Amino acid sequence: MVTEKSARTKKSPSGVDPKLLIKDAAKLLPQSSRRMFLRGAASLGALSMLTGCDIVDGPTSENVLRVISRFNDKVQALLFSDTTLAPEYPESAITRPFPFNAYYSEDEAPDIDGDNWQLEIGGLVGNKKPWTLAELNRLPEVSQITRHVCVEGWSAIGSWQGVRLSEFLKLIGADTSARYVWFQCAEGYSTTIDMPTALHPQTQLTLKFDHRTLPTAYGFPIKIRIPTKLGFKNPKYVTAMWVQNNDAGGYWENQGYNWFSGL
Amino acid sequence: MTLEATSNLPVTTGRAAKPLVHPRWVRITHWINALAVFMMIGSGWQVYDASPLFRAVYFPGPITLGGWLAGALLWHFAAMWLLAVNLIVYVTLGIATGRFRQKLFPIRPRDVWNDFTAALRGKLSHDDLAVYNAVQRLLYLGVIIAAIVIVLSGLSIWKPVQLKYLTDFFGGYDIARYVHFFAMSSIVAFLVIHITLALLVPKSLRAMIFGR
């Protein structure tokens, strides 16, 4: 566990300037936990008055809400079934144009050179050899037309092609009894998913959108498509994948979004 | 449940022996529900603002709960347990004790019309709070149905894969969001009437606190 963690902190994803990454993280930190609830408190005068105390912006309510969110993770893990498939749709149902969505604008999306890009593999796997795009493109392809549901509420139907993630995990000799799979992305984004979801038949290491090379907007060179999870648990511009037993959290999860976020 | 039984007896002597209008379980579940609904609607409005269904409908920050989307979702998915458990207790006891049948039925259209026009003329009697007039019966039954719809449509938005048959029942994910919104709207409309009338007839508010 310890070696795994230290290995990750030493290594930074290919093509990412660690200094820039830290600068980005520092920009984001004040937004997390404390400020989030203080921001909320300003609009909660009514509840404070009603109860006559400071329950809504104190650390008590923050802790209670986080504990319940962890409880909801467990409930969702129980509700999750590896045989329940996300509904699939006909070609005609595809949302066009499929929306671009991120915490930055489309022109700020990472522009990755596919020829020099490599998918770094780490953690509890037998073969840690990095993968090139050409190598990934030679693996057997699966396809799905499924609904992408955003945590904001909107949804869009897209068509994705790529490698079944469970097949890929098998191929690299991953220890599938490990608890989590962690993904690091080129722009500093990250997310962690539970192993049962990683092994779900529709969870895909995506190389194409609508049978064409994944465009920059949708995550070139690879995206992880998980139709059983909210959109923000579907990382784009992935540069590294780690199989591990510790929960490394994620960009939005660390700011208060529910960790499991299953559909 | 013994309290429920005594409330039906025509007790007339003395102040202390005033008939019980609401048994304790009704009062407890009512106020827990009030708190849960307040949190669900406040946080739900904040969630709505992240991706509005109607251009003209937007809920300003001060009337919402959670501060931003993540905070609102934490509140929404915490308060849902309070709402759901309380609702299950309330509906189970409402059916088991016969209170629903006794208080809410029958609802005859003619009675509704008569009581509605009487209310508008200010001539509706509130002498016996234990007996609901036809308009009250219709509204209470309506809001119980809206509560069931909002919980089921909420579940189908939360779990459109694991509960996909429920989501299909509501016409799919996108339509379920509208159903959830309109169920909220009808509950808010009910609350406006309900709270206004409770304030106009203060003894009804007292009865929901002290039972008599």
Q: Residue A33: closest CA among chain B residues belongs to which residue? A: B71
CA atoms within 13 A on the CB side of A133: 18
Name the band, by pLDDT with cuts 50, 70 and 90, for residue A6: very low
pLDDT at B127: 79
3-class DSSP assignment, residue A37: helix
Lowest mean pLDDT among A7-21, A185-199, B137-151: A7-21
Residue B112 falls within a domain, yes or no? Answer: yes
Residue B152 falls within a domain, yes or no? Answer: yes
What distance in Å separates residue B196's CA from the closest CA in chain A? 18
Residue B7 falls within a domain, yes or no? Answer: no
Average pLDDT (A122-146) is 97
Name the band, by pLDDT with cuts 50, 70 and 90, for residue A51: very low
What distance in Å separates residue B180's CA from the closest CA in chain A? 12
**Test mutation, A28, A33, A44, chain B, max B CBs within 10 A:** A44
Residue A214 scores a pLDDT above 90: yes
Name the band, by pLDDT with cuts 50, 70 and 90, for residue A39: very low
A256 interfaces chain B, CB cutoff of 8 Å: yes
B83 interfaces chain A, CB cutoff of 8 Å: no
The Cα–Cα gap between A157 and B152 comes to 23
* 127-186 in chain B: CB under 8 A from chain A: 157, 159-162, 164, 173-174, 177
Q: CA separation (Å) from B38 to A3, B69, B152, B184?
A: 48, 17, 18, 11
pLDDT at A44: 45
pLDDT in tens, B24-75: 999 999 999 999 999 999 999 999 999 999 999 999 988 999 999 999 999 9
A215 interfaces chain B, CB cutoff of 8 Å: no
Lowest mean pLDDT among A53-62, A182-191, B5-14, B147-156: B5-14
Lowest mean pLDDT among A184-193, A247-256, B5-14, B77-86: B5-14
Of A64, A66, A84, the CB nearest to B161: A84
Name the band, by pLDDT with cuts 50, 70 and 90, for residue A15: very low
A68 interfaces chain B, CB cutoff of 8 Å: yes
pLDDT at A57: 56
Residue A8 scores a pLDDT above 90: no
Residue A145 scores a pLDDT above 50: yes
Cβ burial A106-144 (10 Å sphere, 16+ → b, else e): eeebbebeeeebbbbbbbbbeeeeebebeebeebeebeb
pLDDT at A52: 45
Name the band, by pLDDT with cuts 50, 70 and 90, for residue A247: very high
Is-contact A238 A222, C-beta < 8 A?
Answer: yes
Name the band, by pLDDT with cuts 50, 70 and 90, for residue A224: very high
Question: Phi and psi (nearest 5°) for B202?
Answer: -60, -25
Residue B9 scores a pLDDT above 50: no
Is-contact A56 A62, C-beta < 8 A?
Answer: no
How many whole angstroms from its chain centre is CA A71?
20
What distance in Å separates residue A221's CA from the closest CA in chain B? 27
How many whole angstroms from its chain centre is CA A48?
36
Count how many domains chain B has: 1
Residue B2 scores a pLDDT above 60: no
* Percent of chain A at pLDDT exceeding 90: 72
What distance in Å separates residue A124's CA from the closest CA in chain B? 29
Give A196: exposed, middle or buried? Use CB within 10 Å, 0-12, 13-18, 19+: middle
The Cα–Cα gap between A204 and A86 comes to 13
CATH of the domain at B134: 1.20.950.20
Question: What domain range is B152 assigned to?
Answer: 24-210
Could you tell me the sign of the dihedral formed by the alpha carbons of A88, A94, A95, A98, in that order? Answer: positive
Give the contacts of B34 (CB within 8 A, at least 6 positions apart). none
Question: Phi and psi (nearest 5°) for A239?
Answer: -120, -20
Most distant CA pair in chain A, distance: 64
Residue B15 falls within a domain, yes or no? Answer: no
Chain A residues whose CB is inside 8 A of the B162 CB are 79-81, 84, 228, 262-263
**Test mutation, B35, B38, B69, B74, chain A, max A CBs within 10 A:** B74
The Cα–Cα gap between A198 and A194 comes to 6
Q: Do A153 and B51 touch (CB under 8 A)?
A: yes
What distance in Å separates residue B95's CA from the closest CA in chain A? 28
Q: Do B162 and A149 touch (CB under 8 A)?
A: no
Q: Residue A153: closest CA among chain B residues belongs to which residue? A: B51
Name the band, by pLDDT with cuts 50, 70 and 90, for residue A60: confident
The Cα–Cα gap between A162 and A207 comes to 5
pLDDT in tens, B170-198: 999 999 999 999 999 999 999 999 999 89
Q: CA separation (Å) from A3 to A8, A10, A193, A244, A246?
A: 9, 10, 21, 11, 12
Residue B13 falls within a domain, yes or no? Answer: no
Instruction: Tell me which long-range contacts A47-53 makes (C-beta under 8 A, separation of at least 24).
Output: A47/B38, A47/B42, A47/B65
Residue A159 scores a pLDDT above 90: yes
The complex scores an ipTM of 0.84
Residue B156 falls within a domain, yes or no? Answer: yes
Structure tokens at A58: 């104190």
Residue A232 scores a pLDDT above 80: yes
Residue B155 falls within a domain, yes or no? Answer: yes
Q: Do B51 and A43 touch (CB under 8 A)?
A: no
Q: Do A262 and B63 touch (CB under 8 A)?
A: no
Of A37, A153, A252, the CB nearest to B71: A37
Q: Do B81 and A68 touch (CB under 8 A)?
A: yes
* 116-155 in chain A: CB under 8 A from chain B: 147, 149-155
Lowest mean pLDDT among A7-11, A129-133, A182-186, B160-164: A7-11
Mean pLDDT of chain B: 89
Is-contact A198 A165, C-beta < 8 A?
Answer: yes
Looking at per-residue confidence, does A105 or B155 come out higher? Answer: B155
* Percent of chain A at pLDDT exceeding 70: 78
Q: Among B159, B40, B173, B153, which residue's Cα sits nearest to residue A261?
A: B159
Q: CA separation (Å) from B48 to A108, A168, B108, B171?
A: 27, 38, 37, 20
Domains, in order of start, for chain A: 2-31+80-255 (3.90.420.10)
How many whole angstroms from its chain centre is CA A139?
22
pLDDT at B16: 55
Q: Do A40 and B174 touch (CB under 8 A)?
A: no
The letter for the amino acid at B32 is I
Structure tokens at B101: 């049948």
* Percent of chain B at pLDDT exceeding 90: 69
Looking at per-residue confidence, does B27 or B212 come out higher? Answer: B27
The Cα–Cα gap between A224 and A164 comes to 10
